[in-house]
Amino acid sequence: MPRKAAGLTAAKVRTAGPGRYGDGGGLYLLVRPDGGRFWLYRYVISGKMREMGLGPAGGNNAVTLANARDKARKLWEVVRAGGDPLEDRQAELTARQAAAFAAQARAKTFRDVASAYIEANEPGWRNAKHRAQWTSTLDTYVYPIMGSLPVADIDTGHVMTVLEPIWRSKAETASRVRGRIEAVLDYAKARDWRSGENPARWRGHIANMLPKKAKVQPVEHHAALPWREIGRFVAALRKQEGLAAQALLLTILTAGRSGEILGAR
């Protein structure tokens, strides 16, 4: 690396007043008015001057003149080969940040993310029973299989291991469990804790691997009251005390839906 005959000395690095002092080969000592001392490397890329810090020139963590020259020489070789030291440094920083974020994501288990999802969404749920159902189904069916696994590693095999044993005997419960797994994994993806398709999605995925709920658990309707008996039933109902009897009578008289009657004021 080209260097002027008269460069910096260790004594001048320690005593120089405010200003910028060249050592040759693009290496400079910068002394600020407050006494702070720093090494800079100046180079030209595509006709543009750029500066790169090489560390402090004073204090406990000071870079010595010899080390600063060594760093400048290596950077000069990078520039001569067509590289850009600042871009290389930024790329290295980005890679380190990505690696740190990936490590953080791997530390998030499915149980961790499910707890975060419940906490984030609970204020929008209608009642405490909904949270209790979420917690109960996850504790019973999901956590024993994948609660301690990194959320980034959850795949279709894990989801099917949860669903297959209960799909034929508890189809409705299994359907809700699947939906809750899907919601947790979507939440994890939104937080950049996992990537790719959701392995618990129904349409075009899990639906192709499990029989339809109606096939494994046919819907059983309540028996209907013969219309000829409705008059006698209503007469008996009118004699009953309590809000439930009144609500049922209102349902019969208005042909209202159960949800409308239960929610009426």
Query: Are residues 206 and 129 part of one domain?
Result: yes
pLDDT value at residue 221: 64
pLDDT score for 264: 82
* Tally of domains in the chain: 3
Residue 53 in any domain: the answer is yes
Residue 32 sits in a domain of what CATH number?
3.30.160.390
pLDDT of residue 262: 82
Task: Find tokens 């490397």 and name the residue.
Answer: 41
Low-confidence stretches of the chain (pLDDT < 50) are 5
The whole-angstrom separation of Cα 170 and Cα 30 is 74
Q: Report if residue 96 sits inside a domain.
A: no
* 137-146 confidence digits (pLDDT tens): 999 999 999 9
Instruction: Give the span between the Cα atoms of 101 and 107, in whole angstroms.
Output: 10
- The angle formed by the CA atoms of residues 12, 32 and 29, to the nearest 5 degrees, is 40
pLDDT given at position 218: 56
The confidence score (pLDDT) of residue 215 equals 64
- HSE of 231, CA atoms in CB hemisphere, 13 A: 1
pLDDT (0 to 100) of residue 6: 59
In the chain, which ranges are continuous DSSP H helix?
Answer: 10-15, 65-80, 85-106, 110-121, 128-137, 143-146, 156-167, 171-190, 213-216, 230-238, 243-254, 258-263
Report if residue 28 sits inside a domain. Answer: yes
For residues 227 and 229, give the distance between their C-alpha atoms in angstroms, rounded to a whole number.
5
Lookup: tokens for 178? 């699947």
Kindly report the pTM of this predicted structure: 0.52
Clarify whether residues 210 and 150 are in a common domain: yes
Which pLDDT score is estimated for 5?
45
Same domain, 123 and 200: yes
> What's CA 183's distance to the chain center, in Å?
12
Domain that holds residue 55: 10-83
Exposed, middle or buried by CB within 10 Å (0-12, 13-18, 19+), for 215?
Answer: exposed
Q: Helix, strand, or coil here: 2?
A: coil
Domain-embedded: residue 201: yes
| Interval 146-194: pLDDT, tens | 999 999 999 999 999 999 999 988 988 999 999 999 999 999 999 888 8
* Residue 2 covered by a domain: no
Residues 124 and 177 grouped into a single domain: yes
